[in-house]
Structure 1
Amino acid sequence: MHTSIVIADDHPLMLRGLTDFLTSKGYNILGSAEDGKSAYNLIVKHKPKIAILDIRMPFKTGLEIAEEVQKNKLPTKVILITFDKEEDLYDQALEYGVYGYILKEFAIEEIENCISHVENNKPYFSEEIAHYLKHNSNKRPKELQLLTKSELKIVKLISENKTSQEIAEDLSISPRTVDKHRSNIVSKLGLDNKPTSLSIWANLNKPFL
């Protein structure tokens, strides 16, 4: 059974393009919307596994929808598509537990890869975005200075989407030790305790690790 998806974009062409493309790949598209309010209603009604949302839409932005989904503990995972490369938008996306963030110009090329990451509970951010952030802010996040060498190693492996088990094997330590490190890292970085927060943070800061 292919993943259930709701798509929203206020550009009819983009919306149709993505909908047709994903339908042709066998995904189960439950509905599509051209504004944020309709999109959110579709998510509440159908509880799709994934919602692919444009960041900027009338009535509600993709970010506002992500915030509502998080607040109301809906099971849907949000992927944002955008032309924006502003840093504060990623910070917000991060805060609202967004799973995927892809640039519109690469949406068709990247969307399947992004969806398969998200289906496996792994965040996916456009390479372009990581690349852009790297060029845009050459300063390392200051929180990294708080981490010990072992913690930095672990964060780097997390940014490669490795599981605690794999990290334990790589570093020849027990999974329990990895988990202990993970919770220390989470509190040092001031992240919340959602299992994905650290993974998303590590992915976004990959260039600095």
Structure 2
Amino acid sequence: MNTSIVIADDHPLMLRGLTDFLTSKGYNIIGSAEDGKSAYNLIIKLKPEIAILDIRMPHKTGLEIAEDCQKNNLSTKVILITFDKEEELYDKAKAFNVFGYILKEFAIEEIETCIAHVANNKPYFSEEIASYLNHSNYDGKPTELDLLTKSELRIVKLISENKTSQDIAEELIISVRTVDKHRSNIVRKLGLDNKPTSLSIWAGLNKNHL
């Protein structure tokens, strides 16, 4: 519970309710904001381990903040809370390395579980939104796969078939350098070490879920 957290929501009642709830549970809330620009400035200044952000905020959305954190290699892990059930937003969240994604109506019920997962470098995507968008993990699929984009999933599948970066580049008609960049992103998202064989072993073990 010593994980440092920043919370941002443009709805004062939601912001205060979530902040008060987590504070009462002993979480280390080090800052809060009512708009995206202020939230991002807090992330830059305070460097929290986790940022819990509303997707839709003035000045900068939660998704835009997640994208900026990705571009600037910030270590803060983003959890998004939203009323939206749009697949486009869900897919963008994965593309921007968002670690948590929960619906506001289930926020109080799920937020502690979500924080626990994210603090341990594991993604948490609300079962309700995953089921609604037909991204269910009930078949035993590793939840880490929810962090990968469609392009990254395709590359992992090819890796599971023991194809080299050169093979993948030729099949997808992209450069080897692009494949290697994808591999690096995939390793980081899955929390693997940088040993050359780690991703190949992981892909092979999870081949049936790709």
- Give me the TM-score of the superposition, normalised by structure 1: 0.70
Q: Is the 8 A contact 2:123 2:144 kept in 1?
A: no
* Counterpart secondary structure, 2:133: helix
Name 2:33's counterpart in structure 1: 33
For 1:181, which of 153, 156, 160 is the aligned residue? 160
Unaligned runs of 5+ in 1: 139-154, 162-179, 200-207
Q: Is the 8 A contact 1:94 1:197 kept in 2?
A: no
Instruction: Measure how far apart 1:62 and its partner are.
Output: 0.1
For 1:193, which of 184, 196, 202 is the aligned residue? 184
Instruction: Measure how far apart 1:160 and its partner are.
Output: 7.8
Name 1:9's counterpart in structure 2: 9
Q: Distance in 2 between matches of 1:182 and 1:26?
A: 46
Give the 3 Å change call, closer, same or farther, for CA 45–57 of structure 1 in structure 2: same
Instruction: Measure how far apart 1:36 and its partner are.
Output: 0.2
Residues 1:80 and 2:80 aligned together: yes
Amino acid at match of 1:133: L
Q: Distance in 2 between matches of 1:124 and 1:80?
A: 10
Name 1:50's counterpart in structure 2: 50
Q: Distance in 2 between matches of 1:182 and 1:51?
A: 37
Instruction: Measure how far apart 1:193 and its partner are.
Output: 3.0
Give the 3 Å change call, closer, same or farther, for CA 14–72 of structure 1 in structure 2: same
What number of residue pairs does the alignment pair up?
166
Instruction: Measure how far apart 1:181 and its partner are.
Output: 3.2
Q: Distance in 2 between matches of 1:183 and 1:63?
A: 35
Q: Is the 8 A contact 1:97 1:196 kept in 2?
A: no
Task: Please give the per-residue CA displacement for 1:138-185, whole angstroms capped at 9, x wherever unaligned.
Answer: 9xxxxxxxxxxxxxxxx9553389xxxxxxxxxxxxxxxxxx63996x
Name 1:159's counterpart in structure 2: 143
Residues 1:19 and 2:3 aligned together: no
Name 1:116's counterpart in structure 2: 116
Unaligned runs of 5+ in 2: 146-158, 173-178, 192-208
Q: Distance in 1 between matches of 2:33 and 2:132?
A: 30
- Give me the TM-score of the superposition, normalised by structure 2: 0.70
